[in-house]
Amino acid sequence: MPPVIINFVAAQSGTGKTTLLEKLIAELTARGLKVAALKGEVHHYNLDIPGKDTWRFAQAGAAVVGMTTPEKYILIGRAPSTGGTAAAVSKLQEFDFIFIEGGKSSPYPKIEVVRGAVNRQPLLPEGVIAVASDLADLPLPPGLPLFRLDDAAGLARFICDRFLPPAGGEPELTHFDKAGRPRMVDISEKEITRREAYAAGEVAMAPATLARIKAGTVAKGDVLAVAQVAAIMAVKETGRLIPMAHPLNISAVEVDFNLNEAESKVEIGVRVKLTGQTGVEMEALTGVSAAALTIYDMCKAIDKNMVIQNIRLIEKKGGRSGHFRRE
């Protein structure tokens, strides 16, 4: 799932949106959630001052410029075709929530902040899911939740209950529709991000078979070279082999082999990279499987007792679920 994006809006400045967001971010972060916050509808900022280094880098054509300290960083990028908000969101896909201060006309859900000292009539733009206010008598449509302006904990519970799966609940099986029939997941609304996956597996064999692979004396040819080509081809064809996998434009495939003589096996690793809308775990796993099967095919005439085993995902990066690394 992509991150949940919520706009926090108000009739004008001075309503306390920033203070509410500060408390809300602290509440959600304390729950172990990853939150990004953006200031929206800003017409200019003074970080990229003409004549300064970052400005000069951008003028020279750098797509992104930035500044870093030992603990922090600031990045500035150009996005004339999509707009700054969309470009920023596309780079924050590993977060649970993205909060945007401002954006009354955005397509995302909105929480409106109403402060009695500033205005007593809510705007209620399209997409409002809740209101936070210091007024208890606001004229709100039936069913629209009203939270106290200082009740960040209650608002955090509301947001988690509405947008996150129940704690301890089983993960959603996305390849089945509500009727239980198989389906290909719709990724058309997902943002394009960098994805990567690394999978591994093994082919256990007789020591004499491993020795012949190492020496290059197997009758059918260079076993590992052929297995490498098979892994790359399988990665590119995963969308045809796995029923609900999407056909993907793979960016890179890396295949590595280790001849483990102590345990008499060939260890296989496949790393797949992509800039796209879905992950490449299946591609990496399929690549390992094809390499293992190819090794078996190349050597079966001399060792039919070979065992293909322990095919598993080692690591994945990118996407809604973030970074996974097998212990």
The string of DSSP codes covering 81-133 is TT-HHHHHHHT-TT-SEEEEE--TT-SS-EEEEE-TTT-SS----TTEEEEEE
Q: What is the C-alpha separation between 242 and 234, in angstroms, rounded?
A: 11
Q: Phi then psi for 176, rounded to 5 degrees?
A: -125, 140
CA-nearest of 131, 135, 127, 80 to 107 is 127
User: Residue 48 CB: number of other CB atoms within 10 A?
Assistant: 16
Distance CA 248, CA 108 (A): 28
Distance CA 257, CA 229 (A): 13
- Residue 133 and residue 116: Cα distance in Å, rounded? 8
Q: Report yes or no: 47 and 76 within 8 Å, Cβ to Cβ.
A: yes
> Widest CA span of the chain, in angstroms?
86
- Distances from the Cα of 96 to the Cαs of 82, 159, 252, in angstroms? 22, 11, 28
**Residues with catalytic roles:** 297
Report the distance separating Cα 219 and Cα 298, nearest Å. 8
